[in-house]
Amino acid sequence: MRCSLLPCALALGVLCCASPGHAGVVEDFNQVERCKDSLYMGTPPRGYLTSNLKKICQRYEDKPCYVTLYDPRKHIPVYSAYTFKKSDGEKHVDFPWIPGHAGVVEDFNQVERCKDSLYMGTPPRGYLTSNLKKICQRYEDKPCYVTLYDPRKHIPVYSAYTFKKSDGEKHVDFPWMYEPQLASEKGGNNMEAFPQTRMHMNFEDTQAVLEDFSDVVQYERGHLNPDEHQADPLDKAATYTLTNVVPQIREFNMGPWSDHEDRVRKRLNNYCRGTAYVVTGTTTSGNMIRRNNMDRVAIPEYMWTAYCCTDFDHNAPYFVRYKFPVFGAYALNERVNNHLVEVPLKNLEKFLKGKMDVDKNFQIFYNDCVPDF
C-alpha cells in the first residue's frame, strides 16, 4: 500500500492517516525523522502568521507518510507536503476514508460518523451548564452514538443514537467500559473495559466506576441507549459503558421504562421506513449515590426520551400515525407513581424546561423534527 496515494479525510486537530494510539500533531515536523523527509532540506514552508495552525505528521500503520499544516478553525488543511513516488497513475478507490479519532470532542460534528447519530447533524440545544463533556462513543474504532456527560454528577445528561431494527434481544455478556479521555486528554479514543486494578483517583473524579453501583441493591445500571435498540454486535457492545447509564430504581427499570423501550422498538420496527433518531436523557434533583462518605453518582429524578422519524408509514393506524414523525415520553424514577406518560415533543420540552438548567430556546431535535422541503 502506498501511503502517499491514500486519500485522507482530516478532522479537527487529529491525524487522519493514523493508527489508534499514535500521536500525529507535533510541535515541529522534525520531531519525527521520517516526517521531515517529506520536506525539501527538512524545512517546511515558512511565513504563516496564524497562530493556531496544527502540524500533523500523517502516519498510517505506524509509517510516517507525509506532513500537513491544518487549520482547526476552518476545518481544512492549509497545505500537505509529500515526496512524489513514480507511479502508473492508477487511482485506488477501495481504501476506507479514515475519520479523525473520537472520544471527548469539542463538537459532535468533529467526527463525521458521530454527527450521523443526530437528526440533521444537530444536537439538542439550550443547555446552560458549562462543564458538560461531549463524547463520541467509539467502540473498536467505530463511532456508534453520542453522549453529553456531566463529569461533576458522574452521569450522562443524554445519549443520542440512531435506532436499528432489531428483535429486541438483550446481550449481557459484554464487559462494562469507561471513557479514558474524561480522565486525561492523552487517554485513548475508544471506550475501554474496566481494568482489574484499582482506578487512579483522577479517573474516579471524572466518571462513575463499577464500585459506585456495587452496594446499592435498589438501583440498576439503566441504559440511555439500550442494546435492544441496536442490531450490530459492535453497536450493542458500545452501549455497555458507564457513560451511557444512570442509576434507575429496579422496579422502574424492569417495569415502565423497559416496557416503553420495547414499545418504541416495535413501533419504529413496524412503521418507520427511514432513519429513526432517538435522544434519551435525565433530570436530577440533588439525590446522590454515596460511597466512602462522598457524593458519587447523581440519581435521576425523571427519565425522558424522544424519537424522530420523518419517513414513516402514512397508512399506519391512527393510534400509531399521530405519534409520527416525532413523539416523546417521561416518567418518574421511583418505585411507585412511576407511570410513563407519552406526550408530543413540545409538551415534553415544556416539561423539561421546568426541570433542567436550560434556556428558553431548549430544543431536542432540529426544527422540532419538521423536515425542510
Per-residue pLDDT of the chain (373 residues; tens, 9 = 90+): 434 333 333 333 333 333 333 335 555 545 555 677 888 888 889 888 877 777 887 876 567 788 888 877 677 889 999 899 888 777 765 555 544 444 555 555 555 567 899 999 999 999 998 899 999 999 988 999 999 999 999 999 999 999 999 988 877 678 899 888 787 766 778 898 887 766 555 678 889 998 999 888 899 999 999 999 999 999 999 999 999 999 999 999 999 999 999 999 999 999 999 999 999 999 999 999 999 999 999 999 999 999 999 999 999 999 999 999 999 999 999 999 999 999 999 999 999 999 999 999 999 999 999 987 6
pTM: 0.72
208 with 307, same domain?
A: yes
Cα–Cα dist 92/95, whole Å: 7
Using the 3D structure, point to which of 46, 81, 116 is the last residue of a domain. Answer: 81
As beta bridge partners, residue 306 has 279, 328
Is residue 156 in some structural domain?
Answer: yes
Give the pLDDT confidence score for residue 43 in this predicted structure: 86
Q: What is the CATH number of the domain that holds 224?
A: 3.40.570.10
Is residue 254 in some structural domain?
Answer: yes
Is residue 97 in some structural domain?
Answer: no
Task: Tell me the CA distances in angstroms from 326 to 256, 348, 352, one per residue in order.
Answer: 20, 11, 16
Q: Report CA 326 to chain centroid distance, whole Å.
A: 22
Give the pLDDT confidence score for residue 359 in this predicted structure: 96
Contact 321, 308 (CB under 8 A): no
66 with 148, same domain?
A: no
Is residue 239 in some structural domain?
Answer: yes
How many domains would you assign to the chain?
2
Q: Which three cell numbers stand for residue 7?
A: 486519500
Give the pLDDT confidence score for residue 57 in this predicted structure: 79
Q: Which three cell numbers stand for residue 126?
A: 439550550
Contact 207, 199 (CB under 8 A): no
Using the 3D structure, point to which of 81, 112, 128 is the last residue of a domain. Answer: 81
* Residue 316: DSSP 8-state: S
Provide the residue range defining the domain that includes 52: 3-81
